[in-house]
């Protein structure tokens, strides 16, 4: 009886150890650390969405009957993370600075910016991360609207830009709903 308990404990320990090693999403090439926002979380309205691979799988199976394409959209996606902050006088400089820092970090670390929009009151960037096979393994979106919200979105895993807008619509992430790739494979970049 004691041997069985020891064997069960050993299997449980090894299983937990293997699972913890395989689920460290921060090690994925498409993961983006947007930094610590705790200093502004108590001063503004926030929305945070974190859908990991397990939850995405459950959501896909639940919506399989109503939208059969959702399973193919979610296949290979490991994380959908969105942080949206209401902009106020107290946080607008910090949020604008954070977007500029992220822009610099991503453009200097082999992420490709495929959309850039700048105006007096708004700035937005969309980036993709490619693996060695030229497949998209990460998508990052930053958006700042002076009298609105600042959004930070990261999708990690195998990504098809043609279906990413459907994913945004399905999970209520408006910053992704307009995503689509041109037929010639190039993207629009607005300055």
pLDDT digits (tens, 9 = 90+) for 85-140: 999 998 999 999 999 999 999 999 999 999 999 999 999 999 999 999 999 999 99
pLDDT of residue 39: 84
Whether the per-residue pLDDT at 176 is higher than 70: the answer is no
pLDDT of residue 160: 79
Whether the per-residue pLDDT at 8 is higher than 50: the answer is no
pLDDT in tens, 24-70: 999 999 999 999 988 888 878 999 999 898 888 787 777 656 666 66
Between CA 106 and CA 154 the distance in angstroms is 12
Residue 179 CA to its chain's centroid (Å): 14
Please state the rounded mean pLDDT for residues 156-184: 65
pLDDT of residue 170: 65
Q: Are 56 and 71 in contact (CB under 8 A)?
A: no
Residue 184 domain-assigned? no
Residue 87 domain-assigned? yes
Residue 163 domain-assigned? yes
Residue whose structure tokens are 């896909």: 60
User: What's the chain look like in SS3?
Assistant: CHHHHHHHHHHHHHHHHHHHHHCCHHHCCCCCCCCCCHHHHCCCCEEEEEEEHHHHHHHHHHHCCCCCCHHHHHCCEEEEEEEEEECCCCCHHHHHHHHHHHHHHHHCCCEEEEEEEECCCEEEEEEEEECCCCCEEEEEEEEEECCCEEEEEEEEECCCHHHHHHHHHHCCCHHHHCCCCCCCCCCCCCC
Whether the per-residue pLDDT at 141 is higher than 80: the answer is yes
Whether the per-residue pLDDT at 145 is higher than 50: the answer is yes
Whole-model pTM: value is 0.74
* Domain assignment of residue 130, given as a range: 25-177
pLDDT of residue 148: 93
pLDDT of residue 188: 42
Domain count within the chain: 1
Residue 49 domain-assigned? yes
Nearest Cα neighbor of 109 from 190, 30, 188, 179 is 30
Residue 133 domain-assigned? yes
Model confidence at 156, in pLDDT bands (50, 70, 90)?
very high
Residue 1 domain-assigned? no
pLDDT of residue 14: 40
Residue 188 domain-assigned? no
Whether the per-residue pLDDT at 166 is higher than 90: the answer is no
**Upper half-sphere CA count for residue 53 (Cβ side, 13 Å):** 13
For residue 135, what are the contacts with CB-CB under 8 A and spacing of at least 6?
158
Whether the per-residue pLDDT at 143 is higher than 90: the answer is yes
Residue 4 domain-assigned? no
């Amino acid at each position: 009886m004691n041997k069985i308990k020891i064997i069960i404990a050993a299997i449980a320990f090894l299983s937990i150890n293997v699972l913890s090693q395989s689920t460290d999403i921060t090690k994925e090439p498409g993961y983006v650390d947007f930094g610590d926002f705790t200093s502004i979380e108590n001063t503004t309205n926030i929305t945070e969405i974190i859908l990991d691979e397990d939850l995405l799988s459950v959501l896909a199976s639940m919506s399989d009957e109503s939208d059969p394409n959702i399973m193919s959209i979610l296949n290979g996606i490991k994380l959908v993370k969105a942080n949206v902050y209401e902009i106020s006088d107290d946080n607008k400089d910090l949020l604008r600075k954070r977007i500029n820092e992220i822009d610099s970090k991503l453009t200097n670390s082999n992420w490709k910016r495929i959309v850039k929009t700048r105006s007096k009151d708004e700035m937005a960037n969309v980036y993709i991360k490619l693996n060695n096979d030229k497949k998209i393994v990460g998508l990052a979106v930053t958006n700042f609207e002076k009298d609105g919200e600042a959004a930070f979105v990261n999708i990690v895993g195998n990504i098809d830009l043609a279906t990413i807008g459907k994913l945004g619509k399905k999970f209520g992430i408006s910053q992704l709903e307009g995503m689509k790739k041109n037929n010639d494979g190039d993207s629009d970049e607005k300055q």
